[in-house]
Structure 1
Amino acid sequence: MADVVLITGASEGIGRATAFTFARGGYRLALAARTAETLKQTAIDLEQSLNAEVLAVPTDVTQPEQVQNLVERTLERYGRIDCLINNAGICMSGPFLQTTPEHWQALMAVNFWGYLHTIRAVLPDMLKRKKGQIINVGSIGGKMPLPQMSAYCASKYAVSGLTEALRLELQPQGIQVIGVHPGIVSSNFLKRAIFLDEVRPASSPDSQAQTSGGKAREQMQQALESFWVSQPEEVAEAIWDAARQSKSEVVVGMAQWAVGAYTLFPGWVGSLLQNVPR
């Protein structure tokens, strides 16, 4: 019987591409996302184009009871979960002093607690069977610091730490824990990203420095057009390869060069990042 994969953030971008990749590999799918309409369309597309078996459950991963419902419905439908792919996430950019505790709480609720809720929900069944994979989609921002992204990096460093600690704990019990870290990905995540320079009050001393669309958003858009940006399908293939080969960690595409350089020369790379125009 075909293996079962549960993917969060599955309706768009990396999550959608990953669903198609695993469907082509013969997996049965359980898909979760917050927006019911786009999730339903993804399920329809998978069923019609690949004849995939799909369970789509609208889920807000910040709500543990919704996550528990997702896992229970998946187990009722398929009997087991062989692979969990934690992918739901949001991005935030802006100077540290413009962030508020509420900003940090909202970001951590999705990027960290959302992962924690799903892991806690799927783990009892995996431990009972002494078999399973947990793949946490992190970020280059969880392997090296990025300017103007303190909250985002904190959330992704937390995911990296969780992934590495759980790997040590769960590997002897037959559970593989894998980290996959993309760099900038060309997807529609910009529409969900938070750019704090867009919400400064008009009386802000530096408000005149803003463009109509927000300087940070424009800079991110320019970065998305650069040659070293990954496509969602490239990240999906990296996730698939990590799952099939039981890799511990993968940094995707050109991001591996940036992470490698920072690991070897943190002071030099840090000084370059400090001088990035803002």
Structure 2
Amino acid sequence: MASAKKIAIVTGASQGIGAAAVAAYRKLGYGVVATARSIRPSEDPEMLTVPGDLARPGTGAQVVDQALARFGRVDTLVNNAGIFIGKPFTDYTDADYDAVTGVNLRGFFDISRSAVAVMLTAGHGGHVVNVSTSLVDHADSRVPSALASLTKGGLNAVTKSLAVEYASQGIRVNTVALGVIRTPMHPVETHEALAGMHPLGRMGEIDDVVQAIVYLEQAPFVTGEILHVDGGQSAGH
């Protein structure tokens, strides 16, 4: 039997933005299913951790199945898991392509398809939030990133497509498009240069991203939106 408590699934949830999103949804009173390739069990009874590689076919569906088995419903999916490999285009290998498209596209497709199906069956609407990059619409010669643009550009496009397809069923689909966020993946010695890539003159903080996701969660009239959280990067420089 489904609980009355709303349930959110967060991918890439073991650290950084994903872990912060998990904490934010718990603060909102949601039960949370947190998934990542490597994630520790939680002692929180309102949180289920599911280890798994979303690049593998079927993993996303299994995460949704476990959410249903534990909580009986899925209300929100935060597609935070992603891989970024920055190289000149001709230096990319087939393995790079498989890695990036595996998580950024197949991972999105597999888990989103299953989550939306559950939302449709339940009939109480839902919300999908994707994480993209401002490099999609503001390419930067200092950051060669064709695979990021190829995959995250696809997420931007499908956000609008799905938002329109499912608006009449009360399912909203939005995306946050990020500038450079201060996470452990960026060494401290690079921070000054990375800050200079944004008109506001600083890197984004994880909290900047989470606040945007929470805003979208609580904005029932907003769907099909690509919300730039990038210090003005996409506006120009």
Please confirm whether the aligned pair reaches a TM-score higher than 0.5, indicating the same fold: yes
Correspondence for 2:131: 137
Correspondence for 2:18: 15
Deviations 1:200-248 (CA, angstroms, capped at 9, x unpaired)? xxxxxxxxxxxxxxxxx89855444554211112201110111101333
Q: Distance in 2 between matches of 1:7 and 1:218?
A: 27
Equivalent of 1:6 in 3, 6, 9: 9
TM-align CA RMSD: 2.0
Q: Does 1:189 align with 2:185?
A: yes
Structure (1 or 2) with the greater helix fraction: 1
Correspondence for 1:179: 175
Q: Distance in 2 between matches of 1:163 and 1:142?
A: 14
The SS at the match of 2:53 is: coil
Offset, 1:17: 0.6
Tell me the TM-score normalised to structure 2 length: 0.87
Correspondence for 1:208: none
Amino acid at match of 2:17: I
Which runs of no fewer than 5 residues in structure 1 stay unpaired?
191-216, 262-268, 270-278
Offset, 1:102: 2.5
Q: Distance in 2 between matches of 1:174 and 1:218?
A: 43
The SS at the match of 2:182 is: coil
Deviations 1:176-214 (CA, angstroms, capped at 9, x unpaired)? 011111111111234xxxxxxxxxxxxxxxxxxxxxxxx
Q: Distance in 2 between matches of 1:126 and 1:181?
A: 24
Conserved in 2, the CA contact under 8 Å of 1:10 and 1:32? Answer: yes
Greater alpha carbon shift after TM alignment, 55-64 vs 244-253: 244-253
Q: Distance in 2 between matches of 1:95 and 1:68?
A: 34
Q: Distance in 1 between matches of 2:71 and 2:195?
A: 41
Correspondence for 2:101: 108
Q: Distance in 1 between matches of 2:114 and 2:218?
A: 23
Conserved in 2, the CA contact under 8 Å of 1:13 and 1:189? Answer: no
Tell me which structure has the larger Cα radius of gyration: 1
Cα distance, 1:100–1:80 mapped onto 2, change above 3 Å: same
The SS at the match of 1:93 is: coil
Offset, 1:91: 1.0
Q: Distance in 2 between matches of 1:154 and 1:219?
A: 28
Which runs of no fewer than 5 residues in structure 2 stay unpaired?
none
- The alignment-based identity, stated in percent, is 27
Correspondence for 1:40: 40
Correspondence for 1:63: 56
Cα distance, 1:113–1:17 mapped onto 2, change above 3 Å: same
Deviations 1:141-198 (CA, angstroms, capped at 9, x unpaired)? 23322331111111111111111111111112221011111111111234xxxxxxxx
Tell me the TM-score normalised to structure 1 length: 0.75
Offset, 1:63: 1.4
Q: Does 1:95 align with 2:72?
A: no
Cα distance, 1:11–1:101 mapped onto 2, change above 3 Å: same
